[in-house]
Chain A
């Protein structure tokens, strides 16, 4: 079965420190991988995606993610966290030609001043 896992319900990071939000996937075929962020009482905002090419993908707000095929992972990273990065982060993978996405459970990121 195709799936996306975000193993951490919550990640706590001090402001200024690097952050990582983990995502692993299980799909047949080549994965199309996405990260979205959701601020309180807001819709989801697209951050970045991996389709093909360079394994390191850069996105909005200074975020980046590294596609690792051997580990079937697509972890979200940022070198220096801001308090304003505190939000709910979702990893998703496209599974078919209908462009439907399978969603991870979400990870709450808390950045402490």
Chain B
């Protein structure tokens, strides 16, 4: 399985600012995913980020609000732009393991917007 780290682990931000979340994997992976999760709730997929191509966003999520970078096979960033209190959530990155259907998850970033 892949070992995934996220930075920051948590943050408290002011309304109108932006936060960039980093996701680092210990091995090269083709597919990375960004999710949002309200505490105790299910996961909502924001976008799929493949290296060398534009991220694919799910319905309800747009690039201007959640720009994603995927500069190489071990790293990705998700930016939450122009934040509002409704963006308060846990943001999780996951990767599809090599030669497997399994997704592995990072520890998450807990974001609070005041």
A42 and B107: CB pair below 8 A? yes
- Chain A 10-53 per-residue mask, 1 if CB under 8 angstroms from chain B, else 0: 00000000000000000000001010100001111110010100
Please name all residues of chain B whose beta carbon is closer than 8 Å to the beta carbon of A103 when the two chains form the complex: 42-43
Q: Is B103 an interface residue (CB 8 A)?
A: yes
Q: Chain B interface (Cβ within 8 Å of chain A)?
A: 1, 4, 31, 33, 40-43, 45, 48, 56, 92, 94, 96, 101-108, 110
In the complex, A44 Cα to B103 Cα: how many Å?
10
In the complex, A104 Cα to B105 Cα: how many Å?
16
Give the size category of A's interface with B.
20 to 34
A88 and B40: CB pair below 8 A? yes
B41 and A44: CB pair below 8 A? no
Distance (whole angstroms) from the CB of B75 to the closest CB of chain A = 17
Distance (whole angstroms) from the CB of B2 to the closest CB of chain A = 10
A32 and B101: CB pair below 8 A? yes
Q: Is A57 an interface residue (CB 8 A)?
A: no
Closest 8 CB pairs of A and B: A43-B105, A44-B105, A43-B107, A43-B108, A103-B43, A103-B42, A105-B42, A99-B96
Please name all residues of chain B whose beta carbon is closer than 8 Å to the beta carbon of A94 when the two chains form the complex: 101
In the complex, A112 Cα to B107 Cα: how many Å?
26
Please name all residues of chain A whose beta carbon is closer than 8 Å to the beta carbon of B33 when the two chains form the complex: 100
8 Å CB contact of A51 from B4, B41, B101, B103: B101
